[in-house]
Each structure stands twice: as structure tokens, then as C-alpha cells.
Amino acid sequence: MSDYQILPAEPEHKQRNILFAGRSIGWITLDSQRVGLEQCPACDRENYAFSVLSAKCAWCGWSIDKDKLSDAEQPQSGPKPHAIY
């Protein structure tokens, strides 16, 4: 089982929140499947703004494992995405 969980999108939102070990760490967009890391679970710091879209922490180097993220259960209606970029 993966430590990642992808929550359903809130109404009127264009992204789903990503949890790691039960904590919110970022988001994944519905249209392009872009991943953003906002809060690092390793060092517990807010990510540097220019590093959010790299899905890697600017402070300690921790990054979202996109292979494990794509294996995470995605509780949403409709088809699952084919790839995460």
C-alpha cells in the first residue's frame, strides 16, 4: 500500500489534493496531471515558490515519487489518468 492518497476534487476546483502519510503535501491538476509540492513531509517546511512545480523540496531535496503516486488509489469518479508528468 502506498503512503500517498489522492483526494477527490472539491466542487469548482481544478485540482485534487495529495496526502502523504495522512498529511496534505500538495496537489495534482485534473487537466494536465501536473504535480505540485507545497509542504515537505520530510523537513516540514513550505516549499520555495519556484520549486513547487518541480515536485521537489528546495530545502532538503525530498521529492514526490511519481511512480508511487500513480499507483495510489484515486477516489474519484470517471477514468483514471494515464500518466503523471
Summarised one tens digit per residue, pLDDT across range 68-82 is 988 885 444 555 555
The DSSP string of 29-85 is ETTT--EEE-B-TTT--BPPGGGGGGTB-TTT--B--HHHHHHS----SSPPPS---
The helix/strand/coil state of 3 is coil
The residues that bridge with 35 in the sheet, in sequence order, are 28
CA distance 71 to 74: 9
Model confidence, pTM: 0.80
What H or E segment, with its residue span, contains residue 24?
strand 23-29
pLDDT tens-digit map of 44-70: 999 999 999 999 999 999 999 988 988
CB 13 within 8 A of CB 29: no
